[in-house]
């Protein structure tokens, strides 16, 4: 459901808002580290922005912004010293909780028999700084799958347990963003402990939980004042209204089920390389494979879980039969699950409109264009 930035209760918003001058951002990082958190934030690396551990605000992408288009991502110099103008990079929070590869079980054998033990990860308390609203929504989607399903995932839970999130509201969007189609941005409304909105000389800051309030109170920040809060609201409205892409979700999932034989699938199947980039960068995709790897000396084995992709031919291989032999079948499976069957399965969309699958598709297949084409009746 589309949404625009909330007016909220204006008086409450103003009274709850503090101002963090940009030179004091280091104090926030120090406060988080002082409470025992490692701090993970966006940093420029190898031509993109990725999440990595930081000790200093100098590591953030200061004076940079990115340009994104189907199949294209570039970091570019910007004027000024804003630190959160780069909207997002290829990596979301997903790998921090749902590891790309991990050992689930270890089996040791000896003359007396065998012993199996779980190998749960030991993860330090972690504060994420600079999380966008779409990625917060994606975290909520993954939480529903891994934490609140019938079979909670102990490995995900071990990493997710002791986490504090400092969100950043988006005041600019990438050309590939369409979060307003799903009501997931550009403003972070839930799931964060603290939220910042960057302005020319600093940040409007608010807490979302008692843990966030404790951090904020410890910084003894001055009130942001009505003028800054009004400017913040104006910037969020402008960001939402300026979003270039969108998906009309009216009638989902039934409309997608009614288009399973649409000729567009075959056309897109001709372009798609079946590389799986879109599923790797997607913050909600959760398909994985499990395999047993025996030690060569016979001393035991490990059970390993690795990310998998519905674009992988073997993903649909069952007992000598492949039920998605053509790329068009795999693209259809991905899109119809993401935007349609996910709603039946989990009660919400599997897409949060982050736009990563558009940017990082090597041939520039654009999910918003695909849906627009599928909405038309087949000739
Ligand atoms: S399907 Fe694409 S736009 Fe939607 S959440 Fe996944 S990567 Fe983002
Ligand atoms: S849609 Fe693009 S990113 Fe996804 S599998 Fe096909 S070519 Fe790769």
pLDDT tens-place string over residues 285-314: 999 999 999 999 999 999 999 999 999 999
Task: Count Cβ atoms below 10 Å from residue 360 Cβ, excluding itself.
Answer: 23
Q: Are 28 and 20 in contact (CB under 8 A)?
A: yes
For range 168-187, the mean pLDDT: 98
Does 230 lie in the same domain as 263? Answer: no
Does 282 lie in the same domain as 192? Answer: no
| Domain endpoint, select from 241, 264, 294 | 241
Print burial letters for 160-181: b (CB count within 10 Å at least 16), e (below 16): beebbbbbbbbbbbbbbbbbbb
Cα–ligand 2 centroid distance for 290 (angstroms) = 23
Cα–ligand 1 centroid distance for 158 (angstroms) = 25
* pLDDT higher than 70, residue 1: no
Reduced to 3 states, what is the DSSP secondary structure of residue 225?
A: helix
| Enclosing domain of residue 203 | 10-241
On average, the pLDDT of the chain sits at: 95
According to the model, what pLDDT value does residue 9 have?
Answer: 76
pLDDT tens-place string over residues 315-346: 999 999 999 999 999 999 999 999 999 999 99
pLDDT tens-place string over residues 233-282: 999 999 999 999 999 999 999 999 999 999 999 999 999 999 999 999 99
Gap between the Cα atoms of 322 and 339, Å rounded: 24
User: Between 367-375 and 264-271, two packed helices, what is the crossing angle to 10 degrees?
Assistant: 160
Pocket mutation for ligand 2, best pick of 277, 315, 334 (most atoms within 8 Å of C-beta): 277
Helices (H), the chain: 10-16, 25-34, 94-97, 133-146, 154-160, 210-219, 225-241, 254-257, 264-271, 277-281, 327-336, 342-346, 356-359, 367-375
Tokens 């979003």 sit on residue:
243
Q: Is there a domain that residue 248 lies in?
A: no
Cα–ligand 2 centroid distance for 261 (angstroms) = 20
Does 235 lie in the same domain as 371? Answer: no
Does 302 lie in the same domain as 234? Answer: no
Give the ligand 2 atom nearest the CA of 311.
5
The Cα-based distances of 251 to 10, 99, 223, 247, 254 in angstroms read 35, 34, 45, 12, 6
Does 281 lie in the same domain as 199? Answer: no
User: Which ligand number lies closest to the CA of residue 337?
Assistant: 1
Q: Is there a domain that residue 246 lies in?
A: no
Cα–ligand 2 centroid distance for 91 (angstroms) = 16
How many domains, the chain? Answer: 2
According to the model, what pLDDT value does residue 7 have?
Answer: 53
| Domain endpoint, select from 201, 217, 241 | 241
Task: Count Cβ atoms below 10 Å from residue 290 Cβ, excluding itself.
Answer: 11
Does 321 lie in the same domain as 207? Answer: no
Question: What is the residue-wise DSSP string for 170-196?
Answer: -SS--TT--GGGTT--SS--SS-SEEE
Does 25 lie in the same domain as 116? Answer: yes
Ligand 2 in reach of 281 Cβ (< 6 A): no
Does 98 lie in the same domain as 179? Answer: yes
Cα–ligand 1 centroid distance for 108 (angstroms) = 41
Q: Is there a domain that residue 216 lies in?
A: yes
Q: Is there a domain that residue 332 lies in?
A: yes
Cα–ligand 2 centroid distance for 330 (angstroms) = 10
Q: Are 252 and 309 in contact (CB under 8 A)?
A: no
Q: Is there a domain that residue 232 lies in?
A: yes
* Choice among 7-16, 114-123, 260-269 with the minimum mean pLDDT: 7-16
Q: Are 59 and 69 in contact (CB under 8 A)?
A: no
Does 345 lie in the same domain as 214? Answer: no
Q: Are 265 and 199 in contact (CB under 8 A)?
A: no
Cα–ligand 1 centroid distance for 148 (angstroms) = 22
* pLDDT higher than 90, residue 14: no
Does 170 lie in the same domain as 55? Answer: yes
Q: What DSSP element (H or E) covers 204?
A: strand 202-207
Q: Are 93 and 4 in contact (CB under 8 A)?
A: no
Name the closest-CA residue to atom 2, ligand 2.
Answer: 361
Q: Which of 62, 369, 6 is nearest to 186 (CA)?
A: 6
Does 301 lie in the same domain as 167? Answer: no
Q: Is there a domain that residue 150 lies in?
A: yes
Does 223 lie in the same domain as 139? Answer: yes
According to the model, what pLDDT value does residue 4 have?
Answer: 47
Gap between the Cα atoms of 90 and 191, Å rounded: 21
Give the ligand 1 atom nearest the CA of 285.
6
Q: Which of 119, 355, 103, 129 is nearest to 244 (CA)?
A: 355
Instruction: Write the CB contacts of 209 (distance below 8 Å, at least 6 apart in sequence).
Output: 192, 193
- How big is the chain by its Cα radius of gyration, in Å? 22
For range 36-57, the mean pLDDT: 98
How many residues in total does the chain contain? 379
Confidence band of 6 (pLDDT split at 50, 70, 90): low
Q: Are 186 and 79 in contact (CB under 8 A)?
A: no
Q: Which of 128, 125, 46, 117 is nearest to 84 (CA)?
A: 128
Give the ligand 1 atom nearest the CA of 356.
7
| Domain endpoint, select from 192, 218, 241 | 241
- pTM of the predicted model, to two decimals? 0.95
pLDDT tens-place string over residues 61-81: 999 999 999 999 999 999 999
- Which residues form the pocket of ligand 1, taking CB atoms under 6 Å from any ligand atom? 281-284, 338, 351-357, 367
For range 357-373, the mean pLDDT: 98
User: Which ligand number lies closest to the CA of residue 268?
Assistant: 2
Q: Is there a domain that residue 222 lies in?
A: yes
For range 47-69, the mean pLDDT: 97
Q: Are 61 and 245 in contact (CB under 8 A)?
A: no
Gap between the Cα atoms of 206 and 91, Å rounded: 26
What percentage of the chain has pLDDT greater than the value 90?
94
Q: Is there a domain that residue 3 lies in?
A: no
Gap between the Cα atoms of 62 and 59, Å rounded: 8
According to the model, what pLDDT value does residue 92 have?
Answer: 93
User: Which ligand number lies closest to the CA of residue 311?
Assistant: 2
According to the model, what pLDDT value does residue 378 have?
Answer: 74
According to the model, what pLDDT value does residue 5 have?
Answer: 52
């Amino acid at each position: 459901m589309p949404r625009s930035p909330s007016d909220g209760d204006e008086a409450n918003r103003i009274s709850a808002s503090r101002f963090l001058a940009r030179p004091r951002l280091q104090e926030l990082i120090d406060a988080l580290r002082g409470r025992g958190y490692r701090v993970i934030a966006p940093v420029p690396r190898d031509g993109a922005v990725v999440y990595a551990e930081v000790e200093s605000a100098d590591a953030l992408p200061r004076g940079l912004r990115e340009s994104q288009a189907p199949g294209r991502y570039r970091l570019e110099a910007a004027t000024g010293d804003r630190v959160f103008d780069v909207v997002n990079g290829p990596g979301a929070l997903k790998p921090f909780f749902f590891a790309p590869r991990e050992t689930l079980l270890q089996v040791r054998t000896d003359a007396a028999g065998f012993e199996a033990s779980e190998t749960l990860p030991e993860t330090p308390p972690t504060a994420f700084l600079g999380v966008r609203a779409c990625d917060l929504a994606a975290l909520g989607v993954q939480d529903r799958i891994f934490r609140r399903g019938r079979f909670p995932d102990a490995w995900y839970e071990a990493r997710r347990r002791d986490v504090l999130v400092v969100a950043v509201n988006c005041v600019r969007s990438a050309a590939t963003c369409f979060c307003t189609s799903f009501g997931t941005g550009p403003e972070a409304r839930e799931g964060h402990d603290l939220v910042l909105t960057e302005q020319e000389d600093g940040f409007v800051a608010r807490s979302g939980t008692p843990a966030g309030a404790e951090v904020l109170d410890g910084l003894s920040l001055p009130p942001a004042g009505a003028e800054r809060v009004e400017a913040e609201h104006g910037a969020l409205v402008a960001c939402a209204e300026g979003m270039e892409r969108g998906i009309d979700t009216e009638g989902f999932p039934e409309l997608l089920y009614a288009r399973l034989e649409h000729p567009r699938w075959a056309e897109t199947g001709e372009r798609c390389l079946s590389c799986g980039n879109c599923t790797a960068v997607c913050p909600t995709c959760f398909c994985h494979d499990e395999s047993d790897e025996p030690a060569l000396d016979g001393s035991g084995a490990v059970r390993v879980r690795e990310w998998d992709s519905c674009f992988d031919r073997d993903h649909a291989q069952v007992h000598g039969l492949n039920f998605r032999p053509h790329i068009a079948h795999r693209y259809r499976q991905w899109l119809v699950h993401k935007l349609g069957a996910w709603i039946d399965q989990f009660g919400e969309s599997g897409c949060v409109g982050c736009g990563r699958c558009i940017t990082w598709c090597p041939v520039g297949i654009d999910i918003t264009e695909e849906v627009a084409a599928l909405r038309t009746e087949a000739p």
